[in-house]
Amino acid sequence: MKNIGLLGIILIIATFFLIDLYTFKGIKDLVRGFAQTGAKKIFFTAYWSINISLYIIWIYIIIKSRIPGAEIPYKFVFISFGVFLMFFVPKLIFISFVLINDVSNFVMGLFKPAQQQVAGELIGRSVFITYLGAIIASIPLFSLGWGMLIGRYKFKVHEKELSFTSLPKSFDGLRIVQISDLHIGSFFKEYERVEKGLQMIRDLKPDMILFTGDMVNNTADEAEPWIENLKSIEAPMGKYSILGNHDYGDYVNWPSTEAKQTNLDKLIGIHKEMGFDILLNENRIFEKNGETFTLAGVENWGLPPFPQHGNLSEALNGSSDSDFQLLMSHDPSHWDAEVTKNSSVDLTLSGHTHGMQFGVELGNIKWSPVKYKYPKWAGLYEEGDQKLYVNRGFGYIGYPGRVGIMPEITLITLKRT
């Protein structure tokens, strides 16, 4: 909110307050028939106490963010934002029903005078609409709360067997674990809960572990407490990593370009301390029985406003004669924009989207609002002989939770056809 002026902040707060007033009007309609009890007063008091507390918290965060050098604890911001969403989304749903009810009453009032409910009618139309709105609004209220308390730690293994005619016989059956978007600063000190996910990786016994970017949210310091944890996951053919858009420190107001570069250099060093061979527009070629397998990694390449540090030709340099090419590229937009047009890369592994940390995955049904920004947002995509797999992310950012789109550990088994 640093770039929003005072007038803009006032208008935003005023808008939220009007939404709260209209929501409260709907709540009063909802309980209009209830007797005047202490419970009713407690409910009203709790409603305004929660909302006023959120106003005070966000005003505090805005003021602090405008003070040079002031530090705002991530955990405080994340939890505050999560609680805000948990209540704000249900409010929007509820007031849409209240609005429908009010407009309906207004239109009907133009054509006939108000009438008493028919004797014996258990529930009037207005009350029904309001109650329906409250019931539907309660779904995201409890879902978003569950996502913060439990969902963000419900690590899920997605197993994929991918077949290629170009895969050398010597590498048939290669087991690769892909993880992405750790955003490790968002986990704070939840070592035991994250360890469950790391143990799931160990249990898969992969031949190779690939990390496709976004180790941190903003600064290298976030990753330091986790060095030993990430060092503990191993694979016989090694661990390899790339950078994501968050890793460059682009979302921090650095005192100088030198300070920003120092942060990036420090993060690259931490990757190495964790045991990752970080690929910065480069590749590694594996040879077995005279057959070759190329693993390449580009720096972050995204559509504007995301930076384009990645250089595909550099990353693939020297691998043109390789039998099989696997590319790590953080942003799946890169696949459509460059990979399929300018290379014969067999398999690309990406992340970045997180599946928006919200959506529906039931059987063949797969939906998330993020699909309108990223058409290729989760799972497997194919074009000709080339394949793309988009990991849903291990961590989270912004909303501190996951609903419907669980944190992912991918096991890919390569097969020769």
* Domain ranges for the chain: 6-149, 156-416
pLDDT band at 109; cut points 50, 70, 90: confident
User: For residue range 169-181, what is the model confidence (pLDDT) as tens digits?
Assistant: 999 999 999 999 9
Q: DSSP of 239-291, one letter per residue?
A: EEE---GGGGTTTS--S-HHHHHHHHHHHHHHHHHTTEEE-SSEEEEEEETTE
Classify residue 306 by its DSSP letter. S
pLDDT band at 106 (very low <50, low <70, confident <90, very high): confident
Question: What is the fold, at CATH topology level, of the domain defined by 156-416?
Answer: Purple Acid Phosphatase; chain A, domain 2 (3.60.21)
Q: Give tens-digit pLDDT for 312-350.
A: 999 999 998 788 999 999 999 999 999 999 999 999 999
47/22 Cα distance (integer angstroms) = 13
Residue 184: is its pLDDT beyond 70? yes
Task: Give the pLDDT score at 120.
Answer: 40
Alpha-carbon span 373 to 218, nearest angstrom:
23
242-262 pLDDT, tens digit per residue, is 999 999 999 988 999 999 999
Give the list of residues 6+ apart from residue 413 with CB closer than 8 angstroms, or none: 159, 160, 161, 162, 173, 174, 175, 176
Residue 205 CB contacts under 8 Å (≥ 6 apart), including other chains: 175
